[in-house]
Structure 1
């Protein structure tokens, strides 16, 4: 399959016809790209926007009521440019785009970026092009990108969802375990928050576990609580 060879070359990884006996691997099938674990309990994950849990979330058409939408200040009358600086698999970014925002997704892991790009392409083919058309993914370090954006047109909102440890149940817990196994290096959270606050013209929004300390121990201006997570909102000096 030519697509598999192109992907392997881009990621600098060997191409195999069968899964390895151990470790993580990418599996490219006709229905999409997945990250899988070879040993232990069989686990695979991929970026999904129009089916599964995310599809149900999107199909409810209640985007304006989502906490992440309210935290980012998105309304029917105001659809700011949002930079999702820790994009991951893009689920919250898809909700923001569904609410009308233009979203720039930054993901430093080439593997996660490949999963994200594949999910966006499949969602577009499935009829979600109006929403995915407002999402633009980049394989780049967020601090570097935000530093470069400081002298250009700046985003209104920077959204941060640093991967935090903590107990998660079901599919979310399995996916977190896979991501933690893949992403061994840690984010410089103080630098990321400081850069985001310097660039955003309206606010910085940080997703946290409900009982977690504020990111980099920087107290927010206010927060929106939920059952398991909360959104800390930092008004910026540019607002």
Structure 2
């Protein structure tokens, strides 16, 4: 289903190394439009590493991007501490720098927003494929004067979030942020494209309840869970409070008051 490939021989070694690391086939230099044996490629090219479908009618690639596009716009024109995610983690209730663990990091977009609001981030992403995309995006951002000030606040960790949390001896962050994979109702082209590519690789987070339980044990002040607006809360304790937007909702599990 999935293989590594590249657009030019200059990227062959990087592509081969990634294939070995992820135990995936390496196709070398290919044109994705004419690949029929694999549905998806981890594609290395001049714009970095991306996940892309094969075939002539495939949607465009998806990558972790912090320099341009949506992330760049939010960096330059973001809504500040009044936006919902800032209120959810409690930035309006404290003046100290919040340490946030994003335990379902994905492509790092929410973590990047929080870094722009002054938080210190640790990121966990258990899918090796998505982890590789995020790792590449952070590496490219490190070379960008516009993005490095924020991505330097983002530390990418390796491992399964539930296991990692259970192995820690005490609280790991002021706030633990969760965004479990769910059936998106958002009809925007970008969300539809990302979900179409991600689902065969990641699947659904069937153990979201276990992740919430582990997070509640290891957060200092609160756990925040992002959900579709009309979806039920994750199984387990009821949220202390909720913040509802047009398409999504933040369920907040307050453990104690922020300092």
Structure-1-length-normalised TM-score: 0.93
Distance (Å, rounded) in 1 between the aligned partners of 2:55 and 2:201: 14
**Alignment partner of 1:157 is 2:183:** no
Indicate the RMSD between aligned Cα atoms, in angstroms.
Answer: 1.8
**Alignment partner of 1:25 is 2:44:** no
Please report how far the alpha carbon of residue 195 of structure 1 lies from its aligned counterpart in structure 2 after TM superposition: 0.7
Moved over 2 A (4+): 184-187
Distance (Å, rounded) in 2 between the aligned partners of 1:23 and 1:219: 40
Paired residues for 1:14-93 under 5 Å: 14-16=25-27, 17-18=29-30, 19=32, 20-21=35-36, 22-39=38-55, 41-43=57-59, 44-75=61-92, 77-93=95-111
Structure 1 pair 147–224 and aligned structure 2 pair: CA distance change class (3 A):
same
Please report how far the alpha carbon of residue 125 of structure 1 lies from its aligned counterpart in structure 2 after TM superposition: 1.1
Counterpart secondary structure, 1:180: helix
Q: Deviations for 1:160-219, whole angstroms, at most 9, x for unmatched residues?
A: 000110322211111112111211364411111111011101000000101110111542
**Alignment partner of 1:182 is 2:182:** no
Mark the structure with the bigger radius of gyration: 2
**Alignment partner of 1:3 is 2:14:** yes
Equivalent in the alignment of 1:148: 167
Counterpart secondary structure, 2:104: coil
2:113 aligned to which of 95, 101, 112: 95
Distance (Å, rounded) in 2 between the aligned partners of 1:24 and 1:174: 13
C-alpha contact (below 8 Å) 1:113/1:138 kept by paired residues:
no
Distance (Å, rounded) in 1 between the aligned partners of 2:133 and 2:139: 10
C-alpha contact (below 8 Å) 1:223/1:233 kept by paired residues:
yes
**Alignment partner of 1:118 is 2:136:** yes
Please report how far the alpha carbon of residue 238 of structure 1 lies from its aligned counterpart in structure 2 after TM superposition: 8.9
Structure 1 pair 154–223 and aligned structure 2 pair: CA distance change class (3 A):
same
Gaps (5+ residues) in structure 1?
none
Distance (Å, rounded) in 1 between the aligned partners of 2:56 and 2:242: 39
Distance (Å, rounded) in 2 between the aligned partners of 1:90 and 1:130: 15
Structure 1 pair 187–63 and aligned structure 2 pair: CA distance change class (3 A):
farther
Gaps (5+ residues) in structure 2?
1-11
**Alignment partner of 1:231 is 2:231:** no
Please report how far the alpha carbon of residue 40 of structure 1 lies from its aligned counterpart in structure 2 after TM superposition: 7.0
Structure 1 pair 159–40 and aligned structure 2 pair: CA distance change class (3 A):
farther
Q: Deviations for 1:18-47, whole angstroms, at most 9, x for unmatched residues?
A: 133141111100221110111473122011
Structure-2-length-normalised TM-score: 0.86
Equivalent in the alignment of 2:190: 171
Distance (Å, rounded) in 1 between the aligned partners of 2:171 and 2:212: 19
